Amino acid sequence: MIIHLDKFVVLSPVVSKKSNVVQNQNPCSVSLNVRYFRSSRLVFKPKVSPASFLQSSDSGLGSRITRAAKTEAQIVLFDYLYSTRSFGFMDAEHISKNSPHFLQYLLSKIDPEKDVTRSLTRFLRFNPINEFEPFFESLGLSPFEVSSLVPQHLMFLTDDSAMLENFHVLCNYGIPRSKMGKLYKEARGIFGYDHGVLALKLQAYENLGLSKATVINLVSCCPSLLVGGVDAEFAGVLKRLKVFGIKSDEIGGYLSDKGRYDWGRMLDVLNFLDRLGYTEEQFGNLLKTNPALLFEGSGKKVYVLFGRLIKLGLRMNEVYSLFVQNPNILSVKCTKNIFKALDFLIYIAMETEDITDTVATHMELMGSCSLKSPRTVCMELNIEKEELCQIVKEDPLKWFSLAASAKSKVQSSRKAVSKDTSRYHEKARFLLRLGYLENSDEMLKALKQFRGRADQLQERFDCLVNAGFDPSVVKNLIRRAPMVLSQSKGLIEKKLDCVKNLLGYPLETIVPFPAYLGYDLERINHRLSMYVWVRERGAAKPMLSLSTILACSNSRFVKYFVNVHPEGPSKWESIKRS
């Protein structure tokens, strides 16, 4: 009789069943049992929380929901948020149109093939939703991110008034709602600021000289800038870029909301490149043509390339010179080509010394050509890698012709090879003018040691002559210390200025110690500044030679130029930090 009872029993208009809620369970994620308005048998719906449903990809419901049903669901959700929950029109409209997963969840609670508007309206009337779920989804967050960010003990957006207020501050400033999820995910603390604080932080960045549009793009890409005060490292980057001729608002065009930015590292890269001796015009042009150098990976590739060249055996000054003479090698494309070329040479078992010579003399060509893999080249030429290594050692220019990765690359590489050969002969003519014997071992060695084009070498030579040195003295100085001409004119001028104005020595004091011009500018500044300080206090002899100050080890310098005065150690630390 019980088996056939459902055929005869008549139900009351509303049938409900109380849910057994586990104690301490999050009330926001509890699935409420729906009241079903039926005139006959009971219908049981499975208990599925919105968060669980949104993360599930196994539901086949989405494939059978029509576009019309989704549109009706949007309208019902909008009406619920706007009329029932008193949301602002823009908020209700944006949420209803940009939370498709949540709409799919709502449609799973009714029969989407029947009257969606009536059924969903009735459902929402008796089952209030967790408003944070569609709200976060409408900000561009994925279902998984939504489930992890929904507050544990809140259900209505108005329960978190600070979050809602700061959200509207950002909206009114002009930050797109679709990018607001990134801000909430990466800098959630800004949504808890007291009244008026967030608006002041946005204004503070405008006070740096940035337009409102640039601040919007900046904050959207790097939300952490709004945490705390104005980011000092960002302000430092902005200041340095202005020096190099890049306007404040241009920075907004270099940023992407998919990138991550380390302003501290960027500032270090800018300072590092400044120490290389780039002129402001050179550096400005480099950044304008290759902004990815700084903004892709926050300049990490500069350090990686520098470190790899040092690891090969190139000296610090030689790497500095290569960077200055070939500024374009720092572009993303050239850096990639150089790494590929280095891997090529390592694969064919070329000795480190030969790799160093090849890099020093053909850096520009390595950056301009994209090479095939060495295995492919060996197969095409039907030779072993040892034979290929010998070809590269005997004629590096032939290597580029054989290994260029495509016909178009071959053409460009041939032009580069022709250009490289021309530069080689020009440099040789310059060395002949300095007194080198043609084709002598000394000249061949000098061709490898001198970095730069002939016109650049001549410019540096003239720089020393114009500073007051006799041309014959300069020639002798260069032959004793070839690295002198491997530096930019600007770097040479800075080092001469240290001797003349910082130490107060005549420039002739460089002649007995030409290696002075090969030392790192930072080492020169630090040591000469410390020597001047102890000299002024009578703790060091006047007119000590440059070699005495610079050539000694760090421990010896500290012993004889720092610890000789009670305040020396603190002054030394201050100088190194400056």
Q: Which residues pair with 15 in a beta bridge?
A: 36
Digit-coded pLDDT (tens) for 63-109: 567 888 888 888 999 999 998 888 989 999 999 999 999 998 888 88
- Report how far residue 325's alpha carbon sits from residue 487's, in angstroms, rounded to the nearest whole number: 8
- Least confident range of 21-25, 182-186, 386-390: 21-25
pLDDT on residue 406: 54
- Report how far residue 500's alpha carbon sits from residue 364's, in angstroms, rounded to the nearest whole number: 35
- Report how far residue 104's alpha carbon sits from residue 299's, in angstroms, rounded to the nearest whole number: 44
pLDDT on residue 440: 64
Please provide the average confidence, as pLDDT, over all residues in the chain.
Answer: 78
**Residue 48 pLDDT > 60:** no
- Report how far residue 322's alpha carbon sits from residue 488's, in angstroms, rounded to the nearest whole number: 10
pLDDT greater at residue 567 or residue 260: 567
Task: Please state the rounded mean pLDDT for residues 171-175.
Answer: 90
Using the Cα atoms of residue 267, residue 334, residue 494 and residue 478 in order, give the sign of their dihedral.
positive
Q: What is the DSSP letter of 324?
A: H
- Report how far residue 49's alpha carbon sits from residue 38's, in angstroms, rounded to the nearest whole number: 24
Closest CA to 29 of 155, 161, 113: 155
- Least confident range of 8-12, 256-260, 509-513, 546-550: 8-12
pLDDT class of 442 with cuts at 50, 70, 90: low
pLDDT class of 29 with cuts at 50, 70, 90: very low
Q: What is the DSSP letter of 543?
A: T
DSSP 396-461: HHHHHHHHBSSHHHHHHHHHHHHHHHHHHHHHHHHHHHHTPPTT-HHHHHHHHH--S-HHHHHHHH
pLDDT on residue 266: 86
pLDDT class of 481 with cuts at 50, 70, 90: confident
- Least confident range of 41-50, 254-263, 316-325, 449-458: 41-50
Contact 215, 231 (CB under 8 A): no
- Report how far residue 218's alpha carbon sits from residue 552's, in angstroms, rounded to the nearest whole number: 47
Digit-coded pLDDT (tens) for 107-140: 888 887 788 889 888 988 888 888 999 999 999 8
pLDDT on residue 392: 85
Q: What are the angstrom distances between the C-alpha of 130 and each of 133, 156, 471?
A: 6, 6, 83
Contact 549, 527 (CB under 8 A): yes
Residues in the chain: 578
- Report how far residue 25's alpha carbon sits from residue 19's, in angstroms, rounded to the nearest whole number: 13
DSSP 108-150: HTS-TTS-HHHHHHHHHHHS---THHHHHHHTT--HHHHHHHS
